Structure 1
Amino acid sequence: MKVELRAVRRTYGTVAALDGVTAGFEAGTLTAIMGPSGSGKSTLLHCAAGLDRPTEGTVVIDGTDLGSLNEHGLTVLRRERIGFVFQAFNLVSALTAEQNVALPLRLAGRSAAPGLVLQALAEVGLDDRARHRPNGLSGGEQQRVAIARALITKPAVVFADEPTGQLDTQTSRQVLGMLRRLVDDHGQTMIMVTHDPVTASYADRVIFLEDGRIVDELTGALTAETVAARMAGTC
C-alpha cells in the first residue's frame, strides 16, 4: 500500500472538511477523487500529501506515518517521495524546460545523473524542447514539463489537482493518456482530484466525496457516461 488514510478527520473551527475518511491507494493505480464544491476533495489531497495535518487519524505514505514527522521531515518527504501536478503549471518562467525539470533535484542538493533530465523529458515527448522557456511552449507542453518535473525524483506517489483544467479537449486527452501510461508502464501511484467525468474515466477507481465523507466508489471499466451517471446519483 503506497498511500493509506485511516479515519482521517480535518476540522476548521466547527466545520469538518473531512469526517473519518479511510482509504488505501495501491502502487500502480490511478484514483480519481470527485465530489461537489466543498465536499472535501482538496482537503483530502492536502492531508494525503502532507501539505496539511489532519485533526485526527493517520496518513501513511510508502510506509512512513506522516504524523511522526516534524515540519522539516515533512518537507524532505514531499521533496523526495511525492510529486505534484497542478492545474496551474507553476513553471519558473526564467528557466528552460530542462532547468524546470531539474529544479526538484537542485532544491534537494542533488545533481542529476547524466541524461536523466532529458530522459524525463523524452518520457513526455519533449526532449526536443528542452531549451525552450515556458513562454515558448503551448499549455499542453507546459503541463508535460510539469509532469516530467513531478517524476524526476522517482516519487512513491504523484498527486494531481485538476491537471487538465486549463487545457482544451484534445490536449487534455493527450495529457491524460500520458498519465495513464505512466501508471501502467512504470507502476506509478497517482491520486487525482477532478470534477470532469471524462478525466475520471482514465482512472482505475473513482472515489466520491460528499460532506467530507466517502459516499460511493466506482471501479472496473470506466466511461465518462458511467462516471457522470454515478455523480448524478451521489453528488
Structure 2
Amino acid sequence: MDVKETVRLWSVRRLYGTADRTVRALDGVTASFHPGTMTAVMGPSGSGKSTLLHCAAGLDRPTEGKVIIDGTDLGELDETGLTLLRRERVGFVFQAFNLVSALTAEQNVALPLKLAGRPIAPAEARAALAEVGLADRAGHRPSGLSGGEQQRVAIARALITRPAVLFADEPTGQLDTKTSRQVLGMLRDLVDNQAQTVIMVTHDPVTASYADRVLFLADGRVVDEFTSGVTAESVAARMANLEAVAS
C-alpha cells in the first residue's frame, strides 16, 4: 500500500441475502483516499453509498476484498481490535448529530476518551470546542444549541482522538443553507490546514462542491470520478444522468 494513503479499498464486495436472492450492495470497489483531501461519495438511491462508508469505516465487514486504514488491514482484526481501531483512528459524524442529551457540549466531546478509558483533561475538550468555534458553549446541553452548533459539537467529538480519517454521513442533511456552508467551510479548513482526510456521503451537489474529488456510484460500482472542475453544476449534471439511467 502507498504509505501516503489513509484509507484503501481493494476489490470490496458486500453481499446481502441468500444464494437465491443476493443483493450486491458493493460490487468490486477499489479506491484510495489520501491525507489532506476531502472526497464526496454520490449516487442514486440504492447505489451503495452508505455501504461503502460503513465498510470503509469498519462499521461493517465486506464479503470479499480488503479495507486498510492507516496501514492496518481491517480483515486481520477481531471484533475487539476493530473496536479499538475505530475508537483511536476513525471519526464518524452522522446526519442526526447523535449527541447525548443529558451531557454538556464539553462532556459530549470528551465521551470518546472516556469510553476508551483514557484520562480526560477538561482543557482538551475545551480546545476541541474552540477549534469548531464553540469555546463559549462548553457548558450547554444539546437542547440549548442550534442544529449547526450541535453538528459542530459532533465534529469536535469525532476529532478529539485525532483520527486518521473522518467519515461523514450526510453531515449537513438537517441544516439550513447558511449553517451548512459554515459547517462545510469548517471541514474544508480541517482538510487544508490540518491535513485531515474526510470522506463524506451526500446527495447534495453544493455540498459535494466543497470536496477535492467526487466518486459516483451506481449498482455498487464506481462509475465515474471528478478530480478537477468540481462544481455544483457539474456534479448535478452527472447525478441527473445517473438517476435517469437508474429510473
TM interval, short-chain normalised? over 0.9
How far apart are residue 153 of structure 1 and its match?
0.2
Q: SS of the residue aligned with 2:36?
A: coil
Instruction: Report the TM-score, using the length of structure 2 for normalisation.
Output: 0.94
Change (3 A) 1:114 1:138: closer
2:137 to 129, 138, 150: 129
How far apart are residue 114 of structure 1 and its match?
5.4
Flag structure 1 segments of 5+ consecutive residues without an equivalent: none
Counterpart in 2 of 1:11? 15
Matches within 5 A, 1:1-235: 1-13=5-17, 14-113=22-121, 115-235=123-243
Change (3 A) 1:103 1:114: closer
Q: Distance in 2 between matches of 1:196 and 1:92?
A: 27
Q: Distance in 1 between matches of 2:197 and 2:136?
A: 27
Q: SS of the residue aligned with 2:199?
A: strand
Q: Distance in 1 between matches of 2:110 and 2:210?
A: 28
Show structure 1 runs of 4+ deviating over 4 A.
Answer: none
How far apart are residue 232 of structure 1 and its match?
1.9
**Are the equivalent residues in 1 in contact too, given 2:92–2:158 (CA < 8 A)?**
yes
Amino acid at match of 1:68: E
How far apart are residue 226 of structure 1 and its match?
1.1
**RMSD between aligned residues:** 0.8
How far apart are residue 173 of structure 1 and its match?
0.5
How far apart are residue 233 of structure 1 and its match?
2.6
Amino acid at match of 2:168: A
The percent identity for this pair of structures is 79
1:123-160 deviation line (CA, Å, top 9, x unaligned)? 10001000000000000000000000000000000100
Across the two proteins, how many residue pairs are aligned to each other? 235
Q: Distance in 1 between matches of 2:238 and 2:227?
A: 11
106-115 or 121-130: bigger deviation: 106-115
Q: SS of the residue aligned with 1:119?
A: helix
Q: Distance in 1 between matches of 2:104 and 2:229?
A: 39
Flag structure 2 segments of 5+ consecutive residues without an equivalent: none
Amino acid at match of 2:234: T
